[in-house]
Amino acid sequence: MDAEAAKLLGAALAIGLGALGPAIGIGLIGGKGLEAIGRNPEAAPKVQTAMILAIAFAEAIAIYALVVALIIKFV
């Protein structure tokens, strides 16, 4: 395996594994948020605000993984 192939494999693994955790987390956050809104519709704005904030933080982790993958590929 040459260096270029190793870099591509490393970049693929970095973004693949780095996006897996946030994807599962976002799914769980969304599901539990909707469940909470379904149980108590009056608290929907408060739950929705917290849910969107948590999803944004989880998505930031995936963006970090993308940056790492791009660094591996191009450096």
**d(Cα 6, Cα 20) in Å, to the nearest integer?**
21
Joined together, the tokens standing for residue 1 give: 């395996």
How does pLDDT run across 45-65, given as a tens digit for each residue? 999 999 999 999 999 999 999
What's the confidence (pLDDT) of residue 1?
Answer: 80
Residues of the chain with pLDDT under 50: none
Joined together, the tokens standing for residue 7 give: 């870099």
SS (H, E, C) the chain: CCHHHHHHHHHHHHHHHHHHHHHHHHHHHHHHHHHHHHHCHHHHHHHHHHHHHHHHHHHHHHHHHHHHHHHHHHC
Q: Domains, the chain, ranges and CATH?
A: 11-74 (1.20.20.10)
* pTM value surpassing 0.85: no
